[in-house]
Amino acid sequence: MNCKKIRDNPVMMTKAASTDSRVLIIGFGNTQRRDDGIGPHVIRQLQEAIGMDNGVRFRSVSQLAIEMAEELYPADAVIFVDATVKVLDGGWQCERLRPYTAPADFRTHHLRPDFLLGMALAIYQHHPPAWLVAVQGDDFGFGREITPAARTRAAGAIGKIIETLESIRKKE
Amino acid sequence: MEATRTITIDPVSRIEGHGKVAITLDENGEVSDAKFHVTQIRGFEKFCEGRPFEEMPVITQRICGICPVSHQLASAKACDAILGVKIPETAVKLRELMHMGQFIQSHALHFFHLASPDLLLGWDADPAARNVVGVAGQFPELAKKGIRLRKFGQEIISALGGKKIHPAFAVPGGVSNGLSPEDGRKILAGMDEARDTCSTALEIIKGWVESNAQEAKQFANFRSNYAGLVDDQGCMNLYDGQMRIVDPDRQMLVQFDPAYYLDYIAEHVEPWSYLKFPFYREKKFPEGCYRVGPLARLYAANALSTPQAEGERQAFWEKFGGPKMRGGSLLYHYARMIELRYCLEKAGVILEGDAVYGTDVRKTGRPANAQGVGVIEAPRGTLIHHYEVDKYGALTNVNLIVATGHNNMAMNRAVTLVARQYIQNGDIREGILNRIEGAIRCYDPCLSCSTHAMGQMPLRVSVYDANGDFVHELQKNPG
């Protein structure tokens, strides 16, 4: 688990001390394909847990879009939350993202979060530090309910994100 | 003597969805055949059977994340026909406005993000840089403009449908909600910037075609029929009207009420693709095949109904409408930007009128007809939704013909022509493969829509000998 790096990141912590500090958390996935909706599910849970005015901005979308590169640029840090079909130790993981700058396979139906970082870097010569929180899903069939196992895994990820955000706030 | 070889490009990149190209070389290494295979299958037509017809605008928009609005509108029109209602004027204006938002975002996406690497960086640029990030790195201000233009189109959709992708808006009999004057003013506030970006895009494509006139003339240029919707004045109509098919010299072959499309259009099936081949019945297959989409719409219509776009159309026709030039596939990029100009003007006209702000937005009723056909022009071309229902309104038959299907034969012709032009003596280079992909990209195909798929696939070029034995493979990894 590398989310602690968010609070240890000097760029972010400098900006976090300012009044307009913003961590952008983007949950993405199809809420009508069960566990594919883990990202939006995590966003709902986070909004309930920490409210709307804590230096955190939430976005819940069905898929990433290229124009979101414009939203990344002014953020102090970005956390993407997505479902994965991979089997993960502990059911979820957090990884630091690096800009993906050679998308020969660019397709608008499926954008990678690191591609958005690459676009932000290319256009603005800057990208915020960013992480991808991936939560293992089991059932990607039709339906709106997240499976209990995926909810449990998501709860672990949510807890760590909240803990990280709180530690940032305490340091401000 | 060398054996016959087959080259496979799989998947084709910077298009919507997954397809592959197989090129067969003869004993001398010359192209003997080329096919564009659509490898997805989704089955919407089949699994929708039994569902209540009024669910279709919601279900069918899930066919695609790029053009959900197009499917929703065509579907709602088919449902209107089953209800037998004429929807209120305000609902028509609101649907048209959302339709313009869809065109703006889709055309901006294609031009700035899918086509621009070829146009601005060149066919033979380093593949590692010949992509949208490479364009953004070299032309950051242009990239910002492209992103903001697409955002503008998406915000029109969001203002009406509550979200940018898969909005819930068009319903049988009208739309679900109105538009406040305040929200209309917010959209209009972004119009000047959108128009400026459109002007920039038009200058880029005009300059490119003029600077590369020989390539624009030769590249995937072939004679074909063209089809599109026109209004009662013969002007291009993206939301409604009659379907017109013209021959390669723009002489009208037929014009008909699209509700009776089956009397005029049939679909041919080939075993090597999940995508069918629509054709004009009277001319039979394959002579009856036609092209749709931006260039076809310009050719099928007499004129455009908005002044600036009509000026652009006339300028285009004067320079590039000659018989030797007009079949060039690369002209689709130019025509797409003329349509972008039209859509911005049209959206402005709708928003500056009163009718779009009315409150009468829906007619309700019970099924009055056993079937309904909804036809619109989607960004990629003519889109047909045809539903049949039982006495309870449950669907018994669904037929969807999408733009990429109409253009199926055209894309195959384009691929064959480019392959013959650029592959000689069996010489295969990456830039050549990109030209073949580029020929398909002109038509902005959406394979997710057309097959009604999943997975990540690398670009693969496979070579086989005359016996079908594997000889060689090149691969472009997804990263």
Highest-pLDDT range among A18-32, A123-137, B446-460: A123-137
Neighbours of A45 (CB within 10 A): 19
Size of interface A-B (CB pairs under 8 A): 102
Residue A3 pLDDT exceeds 80: no
Higher pLDDT, B469 or B445: B445
Q: Is the pLDDT of residue A102 over 90?
A: no
Find the mean pLDDT for residues A98-117. 77
Report whether pLDDT(B371) > 50. yes
Q: How far is A105 from chain B (nearest CA, A)?
A: 5
Q: Residue B429's pLDDT is what?
A: 66
Average pLDDT over residues B258-263: 97
ipTM: 0.76
Of A101 and B113, which is predicted with more confidence? B113
Cross-chain CB nearest to B66 (options A100, A109, A119): A109
> Please, what is the average pLDDT of chain B?
87
Helix (H, G, I), strand (E, B) or coil at A40: helix
Q: Of the candidates B114, B127, B133, which has its C-beta nearest A118's C-beta?
A: B133
Nearest to B137 among A69, A104, A122 (CB): A122
Q: What is the pLDDT of residue B445?
A: 78
Band (pLDDT 50/70/90 cuts) for residue A94 is very high
Q: pLDDT-derived band of residue B457, with 50, 70 and 90 as boundaries?
A: very low
Which residues in chain B have their CB less than 8 angstroms from residue A103's CB? 131-133, 479
The closest CB to that of B147, out of A66, A104, A115, belongs to A66
Q: Provide the whole-model pTM.
A: 0.86
Please tell me the predicted confidence (pLDDT) of residue B3.
58
Cβ neighbours of A106 in B, within 8 Å: 13-14, 113-114, 131-132
Chain A residue at shortest CA distance from B447: A109
Segment B220-240, tens digit of pLDDT = 999 999 999 999 999 999 999
Q: A109 falls in which pLDDT band (50, 70, 90)?
A: low
* Cα–Cα distance measured from residue B292 to residue A138, given in angstroms and rounded to the nearest whole number: 42
If pLDDT is split at 50, 70 and 90, which confidence band does A1 have?
very low
Q: How far apart are CA B263 and CA B21, in angstroms?
A: 32
Q: pLDDT value at position B80?
A: 98
Q: Higher model confidence: residue B79 or residue B269?
A: B79
Q: What distance in Å separates residue B114's CA from the closest CA in chain A?
A: 8
pLDDT of B469 above 80 = no
Instruction: Place B65 in a pLDDT band, splitting at 50, 70 and 90.
Output: low
Given a cut of 90, is residue A53 above it in pLDDT?
no
Q: Do A66 and B113 touch (CB under 8 A)?
A: yes
A129 vs B453: which has the higher pLDDT: A129
Residues of A in CB contact (< 8 Å) with B are 32, 61-63, 65-67, 69-70, 100-110, 115, 118-119, 122-125
**pLDDT score at B17:** 55
Give Cβ neighbours of residue B433 (< 8 Å, ≥ 6 apart). B9, B459, B461
Residue B475, beta-bridge partner list? B460
Instruction: Among A103, A109, A125, select the one facing B132 at the smallest CB separation.
Output: A103
Report pLDDT for B390. Answer: 96
CA distances, B404 to each of A40, B67, B180, B384 (Å): 32, 12, 36, 12
CB pair distance less than 8 Å for B154 and A65: yes
Cα separation values, B64 from A48, B166, B445, Å: 32, 9, 12
- Percent of chain B with pLDDT strictly greater than 70: 86
Taking residue B230's Cβ as centre, other Cβ atoms within 10 Å add up to: 22
Most confident of B4-18, B56-70, B339-353: B339-353
B308 Cβ partners below 8 Å, 6+ apart? Answer: B341, B345
% pLDDT > 70, chain A: 80
Question: Which of the residue ranges A23-27, B80-84, B420-424 would you say has the lowest mean pLDDT?
Answer: B420-424
Q: Which residue has the higher pLDDT, B24 or B96?
A: B96
Yes or no, beta carbons of B132 and A66 under 8 Å apart: yes
- Range with top average pLDDT, A51-65, B157-171, B319-333: B319-333
pLDDT above 70 (res B373): yes
Read off the pLDDT of residues B175-187 as tens digits, 9 standing for 90 and up. 999 999 999 999 9
Give the residue from B47, B62, B76 showing the smallest Cα distance to B375.
Answer: B76
Which of A51-55, A136-140, B410-414, B433-437 is most confident? Answer: A136-140
Give the range with max mean pLDDT: B61-65, B72-76, B159-163, B268-272. Answer: B72-76
Q: What is the mean pLDDT of residues B111-137?
A: 87
Q: Give the pLDDT score at A171.
A: 66
Chain A contact present for B15, CB below 8 A: yes
Rounded to an integer, what distance in angstroms lies between the CA atom of residue B199 and that of residue B62?
Answer: 33
